[in-house]
Structure 1
Amino acid sequence: GVLESAVDTASFFIPKGSKVVITKDNKGKIVQEYKTQSNPTLKRPVPIFLLINNFTASASEIVAGALRHYSNEAGNDAKSPLRVFIVGTTTFGKGSVQEIIPLSNGCALKQTSLMYFLPDHTSIQAKGIEPDFLIKPKITPTKEMKWVSELYGKETSLKHHVTAEEIEKNAKGESAGYAHEIDQTTMKKQAEEKAKQEKEKDDKEKYDKDKAKKKRLEDIATNPQIQACVNMISMLDLAKTAQPEDVSTRKKSLEFLKAHYLTDTPTEIEEIK
C-alpha cells in the first residue's frame, strides 16, 4: 500500500497529531515521523476487527500495528473509542523502504535506504504483525466434500475440454473451422445478426458480472476469518448486556474473548504422570 494512505486511514481512528509510523536510517537515527493531520471520526467505543494474513504487507501492516498500539495504550480506559482486535494470521513483515537508483547502462539499483517502525519503535521487518486471535483460512466442509468431484468427476475438470459455447458456435457456423459465406446483398440480415451478437455479448458480460458478484458473496459468507470476526462481535454485543463489566474496556474485552472464543492457537498438552 501507499504510506500516505496508511496515515490517512489511521487518522479516522486516532487523535490528530498521533504518530503512525517512524522511518530510521541504517544507524537507527530517526529520519521522519508521520503523524495524523485530522481529527478522528470515531467518537464512541466501537469494536473494530482487522483481518490480516501473509499478504498484508508494508503500509497495511503499519495501519494494523499503529491502531493496535494506540488501542493497547487505552486498554483500561472505558471511555476510549478505540478498541481494535486483530484477527487472522501473521502479516508479511515488510518494514523496509527502497529507492531506485538509475545506472548508466540502462539498468537500475534498488537500495534499501530506510526502515519502518511503529509508534512504539517496534520494527515489523521480517517479523510482521501477530494477530490477537489466530484464525487460519480453511476449506469449508462443503468444498471438502466437493473436492474429488470437482477435480475428477466432471468433463469441465479436463484441460481443453469442449465447452457448450463452442458447440453452440459450431452449430451457428461461427467457429474458426467454418467458412463463412457472406451474402453481400443482404445488408439488413447482417445488421440484425450483428445486433443480436452484441446483445448476446452484453447479456454474457452481465451474467459474468452477476456470477462473479454471487461468488464473492458466497466466499465472504463462508470465509472462516470473517465468520470469526462476526461471532466475536456478537459475543461482545451479548456480553455488553449480560456481563457489561467484563467488556467495559479494550483490555477486558480482549481477555473475555480469549477466554471464551476458540481459535486456531495450538493447545498445550501436558502429560500427567
Structure 2
Amino acid sequence: MSDMYTDPYQPEGYSPADTLMKPSGQMEYMRSIHYIFENPNWLQNILFTALCAFIPLIGPLVNYGYQFEIIETLHLRRGASYPDFDFNRFVDYLVRGLWVFLVAFVLGLATSAISFGVAVLVAVLVGGAGVAGGEEGVTIGMLIAMPLLIIGSLVFSILVQMFVVPCILRAGLTQDFGAAFDFGFAKQFVSNTWPQMIVTGLFSAATAIVLLMLGLAMMCVGIIFTMPIVVLLQAHLGFQLYEFHLARGGDHIPIQPRKSF
C-alpha cells in the first residue's frame, strides 16, 4: 500500500505534485522551537509578530490569523518552511483571527456560566449545612466543599481546554463560525489526542515561562524577541496535534479555499 494520501479538502490552487505523506503520528515538542529558525527570514517574522502584539485590540487577532496560516501551510505543504509574515495579508490574518477569537469568546462565556452555577450550588449547600448544624456544620461543609471545588475546578478547566482546542482549530482552518462547533469532531479529536494535549499544554506553558524570564533578564527588552517565539511555537504544536489526530484516523477539517500560499 502506498504511503501517499490526498487531503480531500485541498484548497484552490493546490497542485497534485504536492501530494502529502501520511501523518507520522508522533509529537516532536522540541521541533516546535527548532522549526522557527529554519526559515531564513525567522528574525523578520519574529519582529513582525512582536510588532502586532503592540497594536491595540487587533494586533493579537492578526497573530491568531498568522498562526493558522502557518498550520494550514505546514499541513498542505508537508516538509516546506512555514510562511513568512506578509503585511499584504494583514487583513486576511485579521479576519481569520477574528473567527478564532469569537469562538473562544463564546466558549469562554458558556464555561464561565457553568462555573458560576457550580459555585452558587456549593455556596447554597454550605449555607444549608450552616442552617442545619450551626457553625460546626459550616466548618465541616467548608472542609468538604473547598477541596472538592478546587479539584473539580482543575479537572473542569482541563476538560474545557481539551474541548476548546478542536473548536478553535476548526474555526481557524474553516474560517467559519458555525463550522467550529462540530461536537462530533471535537469528541473524536479529544479521544484521539487527549494525552498529547495535556503534555502540549504543559510544554507550552513551561516554555512560555522560560522565555518570559529570559526576556525580563535582558532588561525587559528581550521580551520583544522571546514572546513572539511562543506564538510561532503554539502554531507548530497545533499543527502537530492535528496531524496526530489524522494519523489516528480522525476526520479532516474542510479548509477554506485560497488561491496562493
**Which TM-score tier does this pair reach, normalised by the shorter chain?**
0.3 to 0.5
Structure number with higher helix proportion: 2
Structure 2-normalised TM-score? 0.32
Between Structure 1 and Structure 2, the one with more strand by share is 1
Per the normalisation by structure 1, the TM-score is: 0.31
Q: Higher relative CO (CA 8 A, sep ≥ 6), structure 1 or 2?
A: 2
